[in-house]
């Protein structure tokens, strides 16, 4: 039996021609700038030294960043308990635990009685001062009575004051934040002021009367002519 011809792969060597053995790639020639540690640049030892240096450098950077952290914020001078002074009161809670009660608003109706009494007292004081002046002037009783009637407040003005002053006073007291719980204190203080004012007026009148009694006016001497 005849031998079968050998099949040669496309591009392969022809049969009977010796093939040269494959050669290993040439080693990479080390080169570059000389290193301070004396290792040849590009060598495995130099690469290992570079990796070790980078690892130590990153580790040192992390430790430095941890130590140089941002300092905590200083406490505020207005914070509770800050400074050598006494501790301030805790803030008012939203749920109403330590929250102060809101001021009770004023109503015009609660001030109407007080305002009416003040207006009547002012009118009486005005009329009394005119009567005293009439007596000092020595006017006739009829004329004094007419002046007394004219000394009263006009009715329209008196009505307007009684209706407007309570609403005006309530509005300004509420704006000032003063609670209506202080109504009795305000009434007592107003009464004391009126009494002191009236007492000062009466004392001044008594001083005038006492001075007039102790120093009576000298009688007027009339020149009498003697007829011959």
Residue 129's nearest CA partner among 137, 117, 140 is 137
Do 11 and 4 contact (CB within 8 A), yes or no? no
Q: For residue 136, what pLDDT is reported?
A: 84
pTM for this one?
0.44
Task: Name the residue among 102, 103, 113 with its Cα closest to residue 169.
Answer: 113
The number of residues in the chain equals: 228
At residue 135, the pLDDT reads 85
d(CA 125, CA 194): 11
Interval 41-100: pLDDT, tens: 778 887 888 888 888 888 888 887 777 655 666 655 555 555 555 555 555 555 555 567
And the tokens for 221? 């001497």
Mean per-residue pLDDT over the chain, rounded: 75
Query: Can you give the pLDDT at residue 62?
Result: 82
Mean pLDDT, residues 168-181 = 89
What count of other Cβ atoms lies within 10 Å of the Cβ of residue 106?
23
Q: What is the per-residue pLDDT across 126-138, written as a single tens digit (0 to 9) for each?
A: 998 888 888 888 8
Q: How many other C-beta atoms are found inside a 10 Å radius of the C-beta of residue 122? A: 14
Pairwise CA distance, residues 66 & 17, whole Å: 72
CB atoms within 10 A of CB 195: 10
Residue 189 has pLDDT above 70, yes or no: yes
């Amino acid at each position: 039996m005849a031998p079968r011809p050998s099949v040669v792969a496309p591009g392969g060597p022809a049969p009977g021609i010796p093939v040269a053995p494959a050669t290993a790639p040439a080693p990479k020639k080390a080169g570059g700038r000389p290193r301070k540690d004396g290792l040849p640049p590009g060598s495995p030892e130099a690469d290992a030294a570079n990796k070790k240096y980078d690892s130590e450098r990153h580790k040192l950077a992390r430790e430095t960043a941890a130590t140089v952290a941002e300092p905590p914020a200083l406490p505020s001078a207005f914070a509770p308990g800050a400074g050598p002074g006494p501790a301030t009161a805790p803030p008012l809670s939203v749920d109403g635990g330590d929250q102060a009660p809101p001021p009770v608003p004023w109503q015009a109706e609660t001030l109407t009685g007080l305002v009416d009494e003040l207006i009547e007292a002012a009118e009486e004081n005005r009329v009394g001062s005119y009567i005293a002046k009439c007596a000092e002037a020595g006017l006739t009783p009829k004329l004094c009575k007419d002046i007394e009637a004219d000394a009263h407040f006009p009715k329209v003005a008196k009505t307007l004051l009684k209706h407007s002053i309570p609403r005006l006073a309530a509005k300004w007291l509420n704006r000032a934040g003063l609670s209506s719980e202080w109504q009795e204190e305000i009434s007592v203080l107003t009464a004391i002021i009126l009494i002191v004012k009236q007492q000062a007026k009466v004392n001044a009148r008594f001083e005038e009367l006492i001075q007039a009694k102790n120093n009576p006016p000298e009688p007027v001497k009339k020149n009498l002519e003697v007829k011959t």
